[in-house]
């Protein structure tokens, strides 16, 4: 792959970087990573696992690697669901690859050691994530956008069924 692809969703050219992974545990909770950010005066930031592709790596392979490195959770590729891309900035034509990872609670509880860049791996139910978003405790734009879109879709689903 040359690092650029057409998405079947939008037809917009998509760059190979970045990759965002939304780890969802048993359709009720989301795994977030706490990262110490030196560029933010060493503030801790609640984020989703994310990163970039290594040379010769597929987007799906990069998503699996980033999930494992940042959370210690290893899953098979068939448990990743590609989501609609997000533009992280209107000045950057590069759309992020986004994957939802379907996880079980035993995988979260039995996870391996994570990268040193991650302070903590935490689990929040959907209501807690919503409160973190509304309070501003989750503040990185790409993470806010992805979590908001996911929660709007999933929390409104039962109301649409009636």
**Per-residue pLDDT tens over the stretch 49-73:** 999 888 889 999 999 999 999 999 9
Residues 6+ apart with CB under 8 A from 87: 93, 94, 95, 96
Question: Rounded CA gap, 32 and 123, in Å?
Answer: 6
Tens digit of pLDDT for each residue in 90-131?
776 778 899 999 999 999 999 999 999 899 999 999 999 999
CA triple 9-145-66, angle to 5 deg? 80
């Amino acid at each position: 792959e040359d690092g650029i692809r057409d998405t079947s969703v939008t037809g917009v050219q998509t760059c190979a970087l970045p990759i965002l992974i939304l780890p969802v545990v048993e359709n009720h909770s989301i795994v977030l990573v706490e990262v110490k950010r030196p560029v933010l005066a060493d503030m801790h930031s609640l984020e989703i696992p994310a990163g970039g592709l290594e040379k010769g790596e597929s987007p799906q392979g990069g998503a699996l690697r980033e999930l494992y490195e940042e959370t210690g959770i290893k899953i098979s590729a068939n448990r990743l669901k590609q989501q609609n891309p997000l533009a992280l900035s209107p000045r950057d034509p590069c759309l992020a690859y986004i994957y939802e990872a379907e996880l079980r609670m035993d995988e979260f509880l039995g996870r391996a050691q994570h990268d040193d860049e991650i302070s903590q791996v935490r689990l929040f139910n959907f209501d807690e994530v919503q409160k973190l978003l509304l309070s501003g405790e989750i503040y990185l734009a790409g993470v806010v956008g992805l979590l908001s879109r996911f929660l709007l879709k999933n929390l409104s689903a039962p109301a649409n069924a009636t």
